[in-house]
A and B are shown apart, each in its own frame.
Chain A
Amino acid sequence: MQKYVVATADEIPPGQRKIIKIAGKSIGIFNINGEFFAIRNRCPHGGAPLCEGVLSGFVQSPVPGEYTYTRKGEIIRCPWHQWEFDVKTGQSWVDPVKTRVRSYEAKIEQGCSLVNPAEIELEKGPFAAETFSVSLDKDYVVLEI
């Protein structure tokens, strides 16, 4: 495990991100309400620069006509095909083309869940983007790869 200092803390205010290239990888660092998260800047579906996408929330509908909007600012939407990923975990919420066996087993039609199960009771999708741990070390954002 290698540590890299990638930014000063105030360089990435809450709701903002910084995309860096380090150890041959392009990685997006996100500040969500003061916590830092990192995901690889490459969508596992079609190869797009995922971290350039729109940060959004998650719309769910328990029944037609009722909607909830949760996890505001924690879901990144791919700039190409609009697949959604949880910035905090890298988890995607759609059925990926390349995990053929798992896509059968995952029963995506039941939907998908988020990190807080009390909030939304759905199963996780079968696919996760590569994630990296980030810690705030004094006033710097340090990335561990």
Chain B
Amino acid sequence: MSTTEIGGPSWRARLRALTPNTRRVLYAWAAAVAVIAIGSLFNPDFATWSSLRVMLVVASFIGFVAAGQMLVVLVGGIDLSIPWVLNGAAIVLTTTSLGQTGRTGLALALALGLGAVIGFANGMGVAWLGVPAVVMTLGMNGVMQGLTLGLSKGLTCASCASYAPKPLREVFVDKVFGVPAQLLLWAGVALLLTVLLTLTTFGRRVYAVGVSPRGAYLSGVSVRGVTVALYTLSGVFAAIAGIALVAYGGQPSLGLGDPYLFESIAAVVVGGVSILGGRGHYVGVVAGSLTLVAVVTFLQAQRVPEYGRSIIYGLVILAILLTYGREKSNA
């Protein structure tokens, strides 16, 4: 960020002295600030609190899925099953609660449990059976899609027209101290993940596995255990995103999760997490999610047609990757 330049020539040295992890978070926030700054040049209202609040709410959905995606990317994996785990969890939530307040707890438990079970299965396939992550999670996405469509009869089942339970919807519509409750949830997730990854033994092991699985194994880390745990968490986060989306919108739809596959990967990478594993923080991914939403919001505000948004979106991601997403040859 430009403010650090005041320190004279030492800021560059200070930047280099940081671990690559910390540096990447800085880059990610710099990118977010840059996009919002450019946006407010064109449209002064762009950076107001009300506009930012809307962007943050939209970004939070990406933030939830990206949380799970980041965890598996940190160990060099990828989760392609996010779209239909998300969609499945959303439909489980409404069809089991039938919109009744009394069933909220049960429905939440079932939706989250579904995410955990699928994530666990992914992790077992990758860590114990040695199936490549792309294949395992891609197959699982198909399985979930088929089950979701089949069991809900293409979302035409009797209970499929149900809404999310009222208390849940209120959480997502209400505001606490002027802040949408959903943002508080996101902040909670961010705090939780940051603590998990930086302050716990588990977090330290995650980075070690991500940088060098062999080295981690030789240091006594249970590489398989860590991997299974991360995929399970990814499933849970996909379910959380599904719950959040359906609580926000009231009713689930088919294909609800489809956009979130590529957006989760993009948010993770724009957030400074290395796709090769072992590097990155969730604080950066928050910035990455915000950047993606800010780009789209800005283009919508400028009345750029859909095709233009898509093109520019791709170009912006490429530009960001060229700035700090290159593969370093020396590990």
Do these two chains interact? no
